[in-house]
Amino acid sequence: MDSVLDDDDRRLIAALQVRPRASWTELGAVLGPSPLTLARRWARLSGSGVAWLTAAPNLQAGTAALGHGVALVEMRIPPGQVLPIAAELAKVPEIATIDVTAGSRELVLTVIAGDEDSLAQLLLERLHPVGTVMSVHSHPVTRTYVDGSGWRLPGLTEPERARLGTHHPTPSHRARVTPLMEDVARELARDGRVTAPQLAEVLGVRPRRARELIAEVVGTGRLRFRAELARRHSGYPMSAWYFLRTPASQRDKAAQRIATLSEARAVVAIIGRYDLAVDVWTRTLDDVQRLEATLEERMPGVEIADRAVVLRTVKLMGRLLDDTGAARGFVPLPSYLKGGPI
């Protein structure tokens, strides 16, 4: 499929996945182009919605998924109503991601409600009145092994990645989350590269205080930055969900092995009729089947109980997407820092 991204675009996005808030000068020292050229390139990419930088709750620390009230929800929708209902669901802040799928369910939702009580309220009281939903299967997430923040676009050499370093602060368990910190987290989710002066104007504080607030929020380790791009332009235009059953004694080992696959965008342990759910991006539809065979061959005892090919992603971690996968709007989560790493 034709792509609007050239090699320099891909290298910039790949670099931002490694160091999302590095200065243009720091990035230029590794990538080559001048800071001004990189800034203009990112302005073009983000302005068109083809790429964006956001922040999301860090769900990869112990049982943080439980604290955040995370669940996968499968929905059956009558023919002709899938997109209208998906559009209504996209307005719900707690529904972070919506995939329209082919198979035995029409929608797969990723819910991040903020806490367990809010999750229960959403599932029991607020989902069913939305349109004509034939059935709902909810799977609370008990552990996240990998999510979209860990997926990497090819384009950088290993020495270049090493020069950029990594940016995963050690979680601070003592940090007391304030409403102002939540506001900062929300603005970082809206634009992961928001500057201190820009944030100061939004919050009504001095730039120095805004800079301190950014450092405080990032320093908690409760956020993960995600440099995203429209899937069709990533080189991996196909997406699918696998739903796995595993023996309890092998579950953790299997999940950790699957999480190392370059195609894996999400690997989560869930409660319900399946034990693990895996979201992958692949180059072709044949690769979806090839990867399925690879999983079964390498991990005896792991059963792929079902699978669903993603036809369209309507919403991705709060970003509203058009039919090309480009970002066209933003619905923030109710909380980004609540229920942080445990």
Q: What is the pLDDT of residue 171?
A: 54
> In sequence order, what are the beta bridge partners of 239?
281
Match 């066209």 to its residue by tokens.
328
Helix (H) or strand (E) segment spanning residue 244 = strand 238-245
Q: Return d(Cα 136, Cα 247) in angstroms, integer.
A: 25
Q: State both tokens at 21.
A: 């808030």
Q: Say if residue 11's pLDDT is above 60.
A: yes
Question: Strand, coil or helix: what is 7?
Answer: helix
> In sequence order, what are the beta bridge partners of 228?
52
Q: Say if residue 192's pLDDT is above 60.
A: yes
Q: What is the pLDDT of residue 313?
A: 98
Q: What is the pLDDT of residue 40?
A: 97
Q: CA dist 157 to 14, 19, 163, 283, 332, Å? A: 10, 15, 10, 21, 34
**Count of CB atoms within 10 A of residue 302's CB?**
23
Match 């190392």 to its residue by tokens.
260
Burial class (CB in 10 A: 0-12, 13-18, 19+), 153: buried
67 compared with 247, residue with greater pLDDT: 247
Q: State both tokens at 20.
A: 């999302």
Q: Say if residue 342's pLDDT is above 50.
A: no
Q: How many residues does the chain have?
A: 342
Q: Give pLDDT tens digits for 270-300.
A: 999 999 999 999 999 999 999 999 888 888 8
User: Once rounded to an integer, what is the mean pLDDT over residues 57-67?
Assistant: 65
- Residue (of 221, 233, 295) closest to 264 by Cα position: 295
DSSP line for 88-109: HHTT-TTEEEEEEEESS-SEEE
Q: Return d(Cα 317, Cα 327) in angstroms, integer.
A: 11
Question: Strand, coil or helix: what is 262?
Answer: coil
**Cβ atoms of residues 230 and 49 within 8 Å:** yes
226: Cβ–Cβ under 8 A, 6 or more apart, which residues?
17, 20, 53, 54, 55, 56, 148, 149, 192, 317
Q: What is the pLDDT of residue 229?
A: 96
Give percent above pLDDT 70 in the chain: 92
**Count of CB atoms within 10 A of residue 60's CB?**
18
Number of DSSP helices (H) and strands (E) in the chain, helices first: 12, 12
Match 């796995």 to its residue by tokens.
244
Q: State both tokens at 30.
A: 């590794």
Match 């072709």 to its residue by tokens.
284
Q: Return d(Cα 251, Cα 3) in angstroms, integer.
A: 38
**pTM for the whole thing?**
0.93
Q: Give pLDDT tens digits for 217-266.
A: 999 888 999 999 999 999 999 999 999 999 999 999 999 999 999 999 99
Q: What is the pLDDT of residue 176?
A: 80
Q: Say if residue 129's pLDDT is above 70.
A: no
